[in-house]
Structure 1
Amino acid sequence: MNGQPVISVRDMGVRYKRAGSLFRRARYYQVFQGLNFELHRGETLGIVGRNGAGKSTLLRALAGIIQPDSGQVVNHGVSVALLALQAGFDGELPGTDNAVLSAMLLGYTRRQALDRLDQIADFAELGDFMHEPVKTYSSGMRARLGFSVAMFLSPDVLLLDEVLAVGDKAFKKKAEREMIKKMHSDQTVVLVSHSEQVIQRNCDRVYTLSGQSIHEERQ
């Protein structure tokens, strides 16, 4: 890669504590260990692997949401946003409030979030449901709102956890077109997806998480 590294993963390991019982001590599950790779400015990096391999955990570590149990994630002075559809939505609040709160959690001011609200609502195509509690939404409607919020954020590094698995067929095509625009711009992207076609078409490099380790797939 010609781009400068923006995030470096050095010998990183993450494990989770499993609850014990009256007759059994708590144990640990090693999600992965010894991971080493660099994310370069302007590239789109795909992450694949079976369910439970640790893909979402890896994104949370890159975002700084969790700290690794060993090794380190070095951020070379960039802003990072993790976008996982429906993550963090408050079911009691309307779509408008959830959109504003999501933007503020990613570093935007309330004023900046409100300025983008009409664009988010238009893209989500939810109509009057934008003013209804999110608990009344179908899963597809929640996905539309989550993706639409994602479209109007501009961090240095965008971490995408299955965000192209959205809504109905027509909206999915629209969402993929918009996401491809970001991927083919100077935006740095890490993409987790179960769609092999999406990964192969849009990623400069692909890493597979398997057996607690990571290896690069040849494109």
Structure 2
Amino acid sequence: SETEFANWYRADDGSANMPALNLHFEVARAYGRDMQALHWTPREILERANASDKPLQTFLQALDHIGGYKEDPLRKKATLLAVILRQRPEQFLRVAPAESVPPIIDYHLMRSCLRTGLIRVDDDALRQKLERRELVAADEEWAVRSAAYEAISRTQSLSGKSMGAVDWFFFGARRYCPEMTEPDCARCTLDAVCAHAKNLFQPARRTTFY
């Protein structure tokens, strides 16, 4: 039940402060229902993936059928899970040499793409919403996020760097281009080539995709 689920997230003092707990519950229930309907277990998914010629692709395709993952066409959580399983000391997931990890797009990469000019917002109404940090509609969030996906994908291709390296670079850029305070552009590696669109913010929208 949702009450039992909430108890799992209680702090030591008994408080339950998990944001949007109902969404967590819905996602967990969707995951369980699909796993039961498919008669799959996490171990079986990994074994099937590791036995294939393209383990990463096979793993991601399996999660396309499972609640909590299948809803996002850009596979953010699924891809992040694959990376975690691959990088664990146990190396739960094998990745073939010819396979590359696709972009993992969430808030910090969208914000970085917007501010540096990797993506441009031509729609004045959407640009104003982003600058004012107002809630955006689903199609507006998708416009920014899908553009960021393409921009990061091209960055990977042109630089020859892995998704991990590209993501780590932009994650580190938060030090000088933070989310809530004034950016320190002069100390940022990207200063010379950046669009300096400092007023732009990632799309503000409640989502379970990332």
TM-score by length of 1: 0.33
Structure with higher Rg: it is 2
Q: Which has the higher strand share?
A: 1
The higher relative CO (CA closer than 8 Å, separation ≥ 6) is in 1
TM-score by length of 2: 0.34
